[in-house]
Amino acid sequence: MKSFLKCVALIGTIPLLAAVGLTVLDIVLRSVSSVTVHGLTDIVTLCTMCGAILAIPYGFAKDQHVSIDVFTSRMPETTQKLLMLFAALLGFLFLGGVFWFSVQQMITEFGYGDRSQSIGIPMVWYWLPLVVGIGLSALASLWIMWRIATGRRIGEGAL
């Protein structure tokens, strides 16, 4: 699973690079003429959403998310594992809830036919990467729980 999530994260860099490239192109065009990239804000917002949310599941799988272990690092190893298992369970429950409500909102947006302001990108395209990224993050939390329960380190090995 970790290899799959790494591929997803790398795919997420493509829209980020597109956002950077279009922004630079817009700056260059504005400095030499009055031409601009039409709908740049809508496009950059969508690209940033895709890139950021698709990288998060890989961060979970690599155990690279932000954590504060000032107190837990001094606890016995068994207690640390139980706390990590509990945190992964809470993460799964939270992400599962976010996934469920995000799917519901995406369906609602699709039903209304809402579109972005500048160039009319269907809003469902903004929700789709969120739903995929949150769903994969929830699965990564399950994977973490499995790794902890089987005595393996979180950031190592392939799924």
Closest CA to 159 of 54, 47, 57, 11: 57
> Which sequence spans correspond to the domains of the chain?
2-149
Instruction: Indicate the pTM of the whole model.
Output: 0.84
pLDDT for residue 67: 72
Which DSSP symbol is given to 19? H
CA distance linking residue 50 with residue 121, whole number of Å: 14
The pLDDT, as a whole number, for residue 138 is 96
39 to each of 20, 78, 116, 125, 138, how far by Cα in Å?
14, 54, 9, 15, 33
Q: Is 20 left (phi over 0), alpha (psi -120 to 50) or beta?
A: alpha
Determine the Cα–Cα distance for residues 140 and 1; give it in Å rounded to an integer. Answer: 8
Task: Return d(Cα 47, Cα 36) in angstroms, integer.
Answer: 18
Left, alpha or beta for 63 (phi > 0: left; psi -120 to 50: alpha)? left
Q: What is the dihedral of CA 42, 43, 45, 49, to 10 degrees?
A: 140
pLDDT per residue, tens digit, the chain (159 aa), is 888 999 999 999 999 999 999 999 999 999 999 899 999 999 999 999 999 999 999 988 887 777 777 787 888 888 888 988 999 999 999 999 999 999 999 999 999 999 998 999 999 999 999 999 999 999 999 999 999 888 877 655 444
